[in-house]
Structure 1
Amino acid sequence: MLSPVTDADGAPFWRYAAQGELRVQTCAGCETPRFPPRPCCPHCHSFESIWRRTSGLGRIWSYVVPHPPLLPDYAALTPYTVAVVELADAPHIRLVGNLVAAPGAPLDSLAPGRVRIGARVRFAYDEGSGLAQWVPERS
């Protein structure tokens, strides 16, 4: 399986994710959240930032269901869903991750036919793969 590639700017995201927290880099000057992480604020050009904890809640903004041919490790898991999620407390921030039935569940654990744009989801971290995932919110 693939694992995330980290750099100095993005490493805190993965460190917090491994602790079960979804944090977003935020400018310490103008307090604008930004993703992907980067050294300079695109709004005020400050190089100072902090990592703010979010609620971990969001809505599916878009999604895709990959079909073979894929990387060999993923082909056997199709169909699975990759979602673009708009964060509830930072609506201009959108994150990508697999949509699964429960935290740590296999990639193919949620039938693609159950996925809907606008559906509420919550952040989860899969220790096995080291990847961020999204789980449907139960109302």
Structure 2
Amino acid sequence: MAAKKPKKNDPANDELSIPAAVAEVAKAAVAARAVRPDPEHDPRPDAPAPEKAPERTRAEVQADIVARRAELSAVLGELERRLDVPTRVKTAVGEIVSDPVQGAKKHPKTVALAAAAAAGLVTGVVFLVRAVAK
């Protein structure tokens, strides 16, 4: 007869499945994190002294907040400008229409895209006319 395979939950079984091993390691990590020494009462002589946050006045904190808001507002404005594609296209087309040479130099990608779209449109019209003529 073949030997019986020990059950997973059997205390005599020293083998763990992979998920059970991962769970055991995770439990040990959580337990290790929960037992942290207090830096103020650390018994080690070489333990670094706890650093205290620098004292700042209310006016300094408020000035930092105002500066950060201005910075974030500028970033948000730039993102809105870059993501507003219809306005950017209208601006580029307006510049190209008003002065084609300077507009083409300033917006080469837009000109190339417009040329490709025009070529595709003309090709489609030619194929449509040929299909209707047959």
TM class, shorter-length: under 0.3
| Larger RCO, structures 1/2 (Cα 8 Å, 6+ apart) | 1
Higher strand share: 1
Q: What is the TM-score of this pair, normalised by structure 1? A: 0.18
